[in-house]
Amino acid sequence: MEKLKKSRIIDQAKGEVKDFKAIYERLEQKVALGGLSHSTLLNYGRCIAKISLHFKCIPTQLDEEQINGYLQHLLMGKHPSRSYFKHTVYGLRFLFRIYDLEDRIIKLPSLKREHKLPVVLSPKECKRLFAAGRILKHRVLLSLIYSAGLRSKELRNLRLPDVDFDRLMIHIRQTKYNKDRYVPLSPLIARGLRKYLAAYHPKTYLFNGKTIGSKLSARAVQWAMRETLKRSGINKQATVHTLRHSYATHSLEWGMDIDTLRKLLGHAHLSTTLIYLHVARLKASECFSPFDRLYAKD
C-alpha cells in the first residue's frame, strides 16, 4: 500500500510538473546503475515529486532560499518526520549530483546521525518468544532469522535450493550490499525446517506468500513477530530486526570474534558491527596498571 502511494505521487508529478518525467527517468537510470534498491528510488522519487508539486517546477530550477524554506517547513510542520526529511535531503543531493550542481549540494543542511543502541532480547526472552508462536510457520521463520542473523528481506528471498541440509549452510543471495554470503544452518533449525517443509510443501520460495510461487511479504513477517511477541508477554519494543540485533549481541557474548561476526552479518564495514560491543555484556578482564607490570619481577 505504501509503495502504491509513493508511485501515485510520482505519477501525479509526471502529469502536472513540466520536465519532471525527464528528471525522474534520469534518477531511475542512475539508481539502477548505482546498484541501489527500488525502495530507494521510490523514496527519493516521492520526495522530489512532492517538492516539485509544491513549487510547480523541478528542484533544479529552485534557488537556495526556496529549498531551505521547504526543508524548514518539513521540520516544523504539523506532522514532522525525520525519516521523510532525511529522504528529501538525500534525494535532492542525489539529484543535484546527477546534474553536476555541486554548489547546491554544499548548501543543503547536514544531517546528524542518531546514535541509538539497538533493542536486544535476552537469551531467555528469545526462548520465550520462539515457544509462544501459535503457528509452526511463524515459529520456524522467527527462529531462523535469529539463528542466522538474517534481515527480513534476506529471509523472504530465500529459495528452497538456498538451504543446504547436507553441508548445513544457507546461501544468502544479493543482500543489502549486492553481495552473496553463506551463513551456518543450525542443526536444531534444520530439524524444524524439515518439519515445516513436510507440513507446508512450499513452492519456489522457502516461505511462500498467499499465491503459489510468490514470496512472503514484509508485512506478513512483521505481523508474525508482532502477534508472537504479544503471546510471549515480552514488554520490550521489539521488531523483526531485533532478532538480528539479538543474534549479533549473543554471538559476541558467547565468544565470537568481531570480524567473523561482521562477515556473517554481511556488513560492508567493521564500524557497523562495532555498535554491538556497546550492547554485549562481555567478560571484563582483570584491571591493572601497566606501571605495576613494568616493574614486576621476572
Q: Which residues are catalytic?
A: 151, 176, 241, 244, 267, 276
Strand arrangement, sheet containing 181-184: 163-164, 169-172, 181-184
Query: Who contacts 98 (Cβ-Cβ below 8 Å, separation ≥6)?
Result: 26, 27, 30
Q: Is 71 left (phi over 0), alpha (psi -120 to 50) or beta?
A: alpha
266: closest CA among 101, 165, 160, 155? Answer: 155
Q: Which residue has the cell 503471546?
A: 231
Which three cell numbers, joined as nine digits, stand for 23?
528528471
DSSP string, 56-67: TS-GGG--HHHH
CA–CA gap between residue 14 and residue 27 (Å, rounded): 13
Indicate the SS3 state at residue 33: helix
CA–CA gap between residue 134 and residue 227 (Å, rounded): 9
